[in-house]
């Protein structure tokens, strides 16, 4: 079937169905019910929806299993995930008859997946497998993973599918008008990651209408090795009389959607708000269009969750930052052994600023649990940097673990023919879609001459190609050896680069700093050699990005050209001058206040506690740190989030750093306040639907410090729970916090409900979106911040 679908796609545009959810609502499904369960109780309605889409011209319909995973179904106390999926897919099969195709539909779990959230990656894979098994049992023709907002969740679902069956699989993400998902993933990075991981078609669904989706498809098209998919909503939803309405009419929808095919889409359908009528019009529009072929068969490109790099045939040398490597760095070794990653993150950031386009990551320290440490580093860097990673390890297991978890397309450093490494690593590269650095080593002997290298490289490239790795995915390490030990080797390396580039047509890489090993003023040799290698066509250099600007240096040049045997003249010239250690330079000049601010801005949990203790030790007042450094940092994070310069993972990381910092400040704040023992009781809660509690916790602490008894109900607290607590504790004041426009309205609901029950208490409200006018309108008093909350509480 997989080949049949691929063949069909070469001939024509395949039409997908339109919306299922909104269509079921039109046909009687009440709001608030579990759609999957409702459909099992009303199979005839679901058969009709599917049949109407086929009748309208759809080639493929999606099963009504969007939320049929363990997490979503458990909200409705449904446990048998397998049979829900199987039965719903069987209903679709019934409607499809002999000619229609059925796609088993998989939607998001609603949880954030590691490393961006607390759902373990392997658990996510297992959850999706459970659903896939049910869908496969019913004999679906293909699978579709849709409406994904996090590339990592999409990866987990795709791996689940690929580990169970060889079936055609579509993956579509939901990008907003600005072309990013909620997690900040953009179309091209997502495409690179998913097509290399084995998706058979990639694209977008939901969120926007067809016009805004056009930009995403256009962005993806030049880099696609697989067919592209577009399934837009019937326009942008509008809120009319409290109801979400999609207003784009079928004729307009179809007319604009046609442009999606011209832009490169091969599968087209409709998402929320579209109907069989939309698909009927779409059918008429696409009937005579033949789809474009995918732009290419392979692509030399790497990606992270939020960034990517496409490597053309003629680039300037691309710098791979070399510093995340503990070899020779005692401080980093000690940190890694303790599980601390402060230096790793610092090196990631400084190298990015200095111009690195990729980051090499090596965690090999004697006695370390390398697999565990690599997992930690990958997770941390997924938040810290948008640069794609190069996974550098001598251990196959470490590389396998890293590739599985990494939310992008990584480069393996490296594959050689030592032992059984080549077939094993090639299999990993193929499974996870990684690119690989080929190290021309077969036994213990290093090939020194150009001729030896050429023969070995040719043979190993052939072996990798045989294992299914395209040439575009192979980067040849042309071996930069120390000129101090191997005079003349620099010339052999340069010849090998030129041969790989012009004859073999493979991209190349060197570990630059090897070349200058054992010599003074190493950066001089590095920079001169990099310039020479770049002129021969070198693609990448693993290097210190600080040391890569071209340099004119006759002594270094002569040494590299083997005109200064043993480097006698070079050493004589430079032996007096020497280099610095391994720490990024500016770090120590940063004040503790700046460090705390940066830690929150950049979501650094590790060092924030020490920085706060240090600042207090140097005389900073804890309240001042909180008011003038920590809160403003978090507010700045909010502004960047609003401007779409920060995305949800960064927001979460900053909030976690703030919480970590708050734990340290809290005891100091408690000590620094002079109490007043009026034991009045205040009940506090963040209202229903709102999980923001940092501000409320600060308010609680300040109130306690001023002698109030605080009963904190926590966050996301329902109206009923608050009213019950008022009855139980009979507080003097009820304090409510809300940070979102959508949840602020629940404050009024709580006040009303308490009044209805005849409860005598005063209300105080606050939070970023609340103001005094709103507070007045619901009969509550307003405090702008925690300090004001204390004086207001005293007044009340």
Binding interface with ligand B1M (CB under 6 A): 182, 631, 634-635, 637-638, 641-642, 648, 651-652, 655, 689-696, 698-699, 735-737, 739-742, 764-769, 783, 785-786, 789
Report, in Å, the least distance between residue 649 CB and ligand B1M: 9
Of 769, 735, 767, 768, which is closest to residue 751 (Cα–Cα)?
Answer: 735
Q: Which residue has the tokens 């969007």?
A: 66
Beta-bridge partners for 48: none
Report, in Å, the least distance between residue 687 CB and ligand B1M: 10
Stretch (H or E) spanning 593:
helix 592-601
Which CB sits closer to ligand B1M, 562 or 656?
Answer: 656
Report, in Å, the least distance between residue 772 CB and ligand B1M: 12
CA distances from residue 8 to 13, 447, 480 in whole angstroms, order as listed:
8, 49, 49
Which CB sits closer to ligand B1M, 136 or 775?
Answer: 775
Of 651, 552, 730, which is closest to residue 112 (Cα–Cα)?
Answer: 651
Q: How many residues does the chain have?
A: 796
Which CB sits closer to ligand B1M, 528 or 702?
Answer: 702
Report, in Å, the least distance between residue 778 CB and ligand B1M: 13
Which CB sits closer to ligand B1M, 64 or 634?
Answer: 634
Report, in Å, the least distance between residue 628 CB and ligand B1M: 12
In 3-state terms, what secondary structure has residue 290?
Answer: coil
Q: What does 322-384 look like in DSSP terms, one character per residue? A: EEE--TT-HHHHHHHHHT--HHHHHHHHHHHHTT-SEEEE----TT--HHHHHHHHHHHHHHH
Report, in Å, the least distance between residue 597 CB and ligand B1M: 13
711 and 731 Cβ atoms separated by less than 8 Å? yes
Which CB sits closer to ligand B1M, 513 or 650?
Answer: 650
Of 34, 305, 377, 36, which is closest to residue 149 (Cα–Cα)?
Answer: 305
Q: What does 59-76 look like in DSSP terms, one character per residue? A: SEEE-S-TT-SHHHHHTT
Report, in Å, the least distance between residue 713 CB and ligand B1M: 12
53 and 279 Cβ atoms separated by less than 8 Å? yes
Which CB sits closer to ligand B1M, 213 or 687?
Answer: 687
Report, in Å, the least distance between residue 65 CB and ligand B1M: 24
Which CB sits closer to ligand B1M, 8 or 236?
Answer: 236
Q: Which two tokens stand for residue 453?
A: 């290298």
Report, in Å, the least distance between residue 716 CB and ligand B1M: 7
Which CB sits closer to ligand B1M, 503 or 635?
Answer: 635
Positive or negative, the CA dihedral 65, 71, 75, 81 is: positive
Bridge pairing between strands 243-245 and 308-310: unpaired
Which CB sits closer to ligand B1M, 462 or 635?
Answer: 635
Q: Which residue has the tokens 């009940």?
A: 683
Report, in Å, the least distance between residue 605 CB and ligand B1M: 13
Which residue has the CB atom at the shortest distance from ligand B1M? 695
C-alpha 329/C-alpha 332 separation (Å) is 5
275 and 201 Cβ atoms separated by less than 8 Å? no
In 3-state terms, what secondary structure has residue 180?
Answer: coil
C-alpha 323/C-alpha 339 separation (Å) is 18
Which CB sits closer to ligand B1M, 517 or 641?
Answer: 641
Report, in Å, the least distance between residue 764 CB and ligand B1M: 5
Which CB sits closer to ligand B1M, 33 or 182?
Answer: 182
570 and 558 Cβ atoms separated by less than 8 Å? yes
Which CB sits closer to ligand B1M, 36 or 688?
Answer: 688
Residues 6+ apart with CB under 8 A from 173: 147, 148, 149, 151, 154, 181, 185, 187, 190, 203, 204, 205
Report, in Å, the least distance between residue 627 CB and ligand B1M: 8
Report, in Å, the least distance between residue 691 CB and ligand B1M: 4
C-alpha 177/C-alpha 241 separation (Å) is 24
CA dihedral 335, 341, 345, 348 (to 10 degrees): 60
Give, in degrees to the nearest 5, the angle at Cα 699 between 698 and 702. Answer: 85
Which CB sits closer to ligand B1M, 108 or 767?
Answer: 767
Stretch (H or E) spanning 146:
strand 142-148
Report, in Å, the least distance between residue 384 CB and ligand B1M: 17
Bridge pairing between strands 540-543 and 238-240: unpaired
482 and 517 Cβ atoms separated by less than 8 Å? yes
Which CB sits closer to ligand B1M, 464 or 736?
Answer: 736
Positive or negative, the CA dihedral 154, 159, 160, 165 is: positive
C-alpha 632/C-alpha 594 separation (Å) is 12
Positive or negative, the CA dihedral 698, 704, 708, 713 is: positive
Q: How many CA atoms lie within 13 A of 669 on its CB side?
A: 25
Residues 6+ apart with CB under 8 A from 347: 321, 323, 324, 584
Report, in Å, the least distance between residue 121 CB and ligand B1M: 20
Which CB sits closer to ligand B1M, 348 or 698?
Answer: 698
Report, in Å, the least distance between residue 755 CB and ligand B1M: 18
Which CB sits closer to ligand B1M, 179 or 364?
Answer: 179
Which CB sits closer to ligand B1M, 440 or 603?
Answer: 603
- The phi, psi pair for 106, rounded to 5°, reads -125, 120
C-alpha 631/C-alpha 695 separation (Å) is 9
Report, in Å, the least distance between residue 729 CB and ligand B1M: 15
Bridge pairing between strands 540-543 and 228-231: unpaired
Which CB sits closer to ligand B1M, 591 or 742?
Answer: 742
Report, in Å, the least distance between residue 609 CB and ligand B1M: 18
C-alpha 88/C-alpha 76 separation (Å) is 17
């Amino acid at each position: 079937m997989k080949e049949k679908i691929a063949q069909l796609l070469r001939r024509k545009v395949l039409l997908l169905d339109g919306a299922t959810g909104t269509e079921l609502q039109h046909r009687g499904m009440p709001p608030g019910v579990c759609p999957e369960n409702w459909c099992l109780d009303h199979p005839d309605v679901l058969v009709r929806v599917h049949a109407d889409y086929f009748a309208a011209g759809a080639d493929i319909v999606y099963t009504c299993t969007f939320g049929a995973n363990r997490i979503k179904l458990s909200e409705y106390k449904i446990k048998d995930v397998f049979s829900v999926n199987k039965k719903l897919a069987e209903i679709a099969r019934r409607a499809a008859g002999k000619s229609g195709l059925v796609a088993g539909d998989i939607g998001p779990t609603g949880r954030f997946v590691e490393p961006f959230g607390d759902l373990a990656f392997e658990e996510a894979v297992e959850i999706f497998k459970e659903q896939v098994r049910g869908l496969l049992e019913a004999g679906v023709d293909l699978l579709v993973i849709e409406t994904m907002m996090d590339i990592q969740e999409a990866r987990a679902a795709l791996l689940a599918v690929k580990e169970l069956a060889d079936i055609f699989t579509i993956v579509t993400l939901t990008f907003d008008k600005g072309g990013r998902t909620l997690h900040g993933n953009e179309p091209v990075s997502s495409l690179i990651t998913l097509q290399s991981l084995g998706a058979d078609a990639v694209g977008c669904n939901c969120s926007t209408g067809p016009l805004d989706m056009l930009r995403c498809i256009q962005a993806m098209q030049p880099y696609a090795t697989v067919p592209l998919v577009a399934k837009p909503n019937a326009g942008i939803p509008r809120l009319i009389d409290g109801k979400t309405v999609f207003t784009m009419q079928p004729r307009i929808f179809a007319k604009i959607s046609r442009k999606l095919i011209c832009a490169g889409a091969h599968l087209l359908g409709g998402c929320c708000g579209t109907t069989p009528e939309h698909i009927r019009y779409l059918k008429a529009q696409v009937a005579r269009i033949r789809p474009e072929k995918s732009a290419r068969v392979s692509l030399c490109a790497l990606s992270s969750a939020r960034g990517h790099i496409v490597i053309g045939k003629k680039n300037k040398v691309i710098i791979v930052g070399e510093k995340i490597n503990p070899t020779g760095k005692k401080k980093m070794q000690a940190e890694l052994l303790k599980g601390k990653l402060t230096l790793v993150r610092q090196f990631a950031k400084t190298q990015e600023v200095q111009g690195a386009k990729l980051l090499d990551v090596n965690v090999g320290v004697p006695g370390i649990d390398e697999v565990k440490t690599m997992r930690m580093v990958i997770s941390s860097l997924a938040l810290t940097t948008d640069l794609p990673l190069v996974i550098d390890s001598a251990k196959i297991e470490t590389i396998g673990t890293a590739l599985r978890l990494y939310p992008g397309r990584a480069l393996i450093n490296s594959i050689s023919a030592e032992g059984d490494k080549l077939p094993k690593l090639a299999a990993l590269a193929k499974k996870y879609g990684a690119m690989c650095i080929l190290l021309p080593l077969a036994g213990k002997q290093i090939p020194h001459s150009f001729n030896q290298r050429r023969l070995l490289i040719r043979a190993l490239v052939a072996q990798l190609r045989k294992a299914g790795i395209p040439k575009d995915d192979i980067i040849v390490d042309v071996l930069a050896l120390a000129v101090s030990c191997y005079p003349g080797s620099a010339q052999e390396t340069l010849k090998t680069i030129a041969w790989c580039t012009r004859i073999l047509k493979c991209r190349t890489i060197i570990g630059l700093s090897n070349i200058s090993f054992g010599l003074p003023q190493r950066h001089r040799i590095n920079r001169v050699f990099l310039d020479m290698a770049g002129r021969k066509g070198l693609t990448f250099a693993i290097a210190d990005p600080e040391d890569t600007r071209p340099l004119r240096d006759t002594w270094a040049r002569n040494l590299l050209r083997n005109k200064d045997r043993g480097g006698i003249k070079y050493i004589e010239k430079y032996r007096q001058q020497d280099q610095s250690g391994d720490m990024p330079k500016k770090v120590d000049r940063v004040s503790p206040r700046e460090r705390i601010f940066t830690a929150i801005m950049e979501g650094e949990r590790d060092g924030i506690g020490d920085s706060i203790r240090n600042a207090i030790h140097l005389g900073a007042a804890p309240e001042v740190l909180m008011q003038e450094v920590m809160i403003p940092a978090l507010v700045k994070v909010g502004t960047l989030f609003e401007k779409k310069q920060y995305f949800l993972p960064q927001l979460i990381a900053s909030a976690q750093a703030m919480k970590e910092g708050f734990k340290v400040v809290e005891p100091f704040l408690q000590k620094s306040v002079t109490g007043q023992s009026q034991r009045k009781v205040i009940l506090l809660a963040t209202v229903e639907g709102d999980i923001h509690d940092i501000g409320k916790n600060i308010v609680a602490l300040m109130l306690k410090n001023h002698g109030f008894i605080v009963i904190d109900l926590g966050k996301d607290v329902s109206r009923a729970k608050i009213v019950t607590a008022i009855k139980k504790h009979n507080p003097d004041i009820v304090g409510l916090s809300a940070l979102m426009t959508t949840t602020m309205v629940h404050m009024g609901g709580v006040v009303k409900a308490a009044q209805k029950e005849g409860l005598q208490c005063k209300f105080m409200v606050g939070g970023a979106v609340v103001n005094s006018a709103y507070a007045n309108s619901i009969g509550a008093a307003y405090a702008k911040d925690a300090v004001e909350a204390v004086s207001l509480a005293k007044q009340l």
